[in-house]
Chains A and B, each alone.
Chain A
Amino acid sequence: MTTSETDIEQTGAPGPDSSGSAESANDGGASTGGSGTNVPGRDTKRAGGKALLKWGAGGAAVVLLGLLPLLNLSLPGVLPGPTYTPGSLQLLAMCMLMAAAALSYHMLLGVAGLLSFGHALYFGAGVYGLAIILDNLDIPLLPAMGLTLLLVIVLAHVVGAVSLRVAGIPFAMVTLAFAEAGSVLVGRNPGGASGGEEGLALATDNLPDFLVGVVNTRNLYWLALAVLVLVFAIVTWVQYSRAGHVASAVRENELRVRVIGLQPYLIKLLVFVVGGVLASLVGMVYLLLQSGAVPRSVSADFTITLLVMVVLGGVGSRWGAVVGGVFYTLLDQRLTSLANSEAIAGLPDVLRIPLSEPLFILGTLFILVVLFLPGGLTGAAKRFGRGRKAGRRGEETDNARAVLEDAA
Chain B
Amino acid sequence: MSTVVLLFVTGLGLGALYFLVASGLSLSYGLMGVLNFAHGSFLTLGAFAGWEVARRTGADSWWTFLLSILIGAAVGALFAAFTELVLIRRLYERHIEQVLITVGLSLATVALFEGIWGTDPVFIDGPAWFSQTTSLLGAQIPNDRFISIIAAALVLLGMVLFLKRTRYGMIIRAGVENRSMVTALGIDVRKAFTLVFTIGGAAAGLGGVLASHYFGYVSPLLGGSLLIFAFIVTVIGGLGSLTGAAVASVVVALLQQFANFYLFGTGDFVVVIALALVLLFRPSGLLGRKS
Q: Interface on A for B, CB 8 Å cutoff? A: 115, 162-163, 165-166, 168-170, 172-174, 176-178, 180-181, 184-185, 188, 300, 304, 307-308, 311, 353-354, 356-360, 362-364, 366-367, 370-371, 374, 401, 404-405, 407-408
Contacts and interface: CB of A to CB of B under 8 A. Distances in A.
Contact of A181 (B101, B111, B239, B269): B269
Given A162-B279, A169-B29, A180-B268, 7 more contacts: A172-B99, A362-B108, A363-B105, A366-B100, A370-B101, A374-B97, A405-B94
A245 to B, nearest CB: 22
B216 interface: no
Contacts of B188: none
Interface in B32-70: 33, 35
Chain A, interface SS category: helix
Contacts of A162: 276, 279-280
A63 to B, nearest CB: 36
21 contacts: A162-B276, A165-B280, A169-B95, A169-B99, A176-B231, A181-B269, A300-B224, A304-B103, A353-B115, A359-B111, A360-B111, A366-B103, A367-B101, A371-B87, A371-B90, A374-B97, A401-B94, A404-B94, A404-B96, A405-B95, A408-B96
B234 interface: yes
Interface string B203-222: 00000000000000000000
B244 to A, nearest CB: 13
B269 A184 contact: yes
B107 A366 contact: yes
B116 A177 contact: no
A170, A172, A374 — most chain B CB neighbours (10 Å): A170
Contacts of B283: 165-166, 170
B228 A177 contact: yes
Is chain B's interface secondary structure helix, strand, loop, or mixed overall? helix
Interface in B62-81: none
B196 interface: no
A115 B99 contact: yes
Nearest to A179: B228
Contacts of A354: 112, 115
B272 A359 contact: no
A170 B235 contact: yes
A261 to B, nearest CB: 23
A184 B259 CA distance: 15
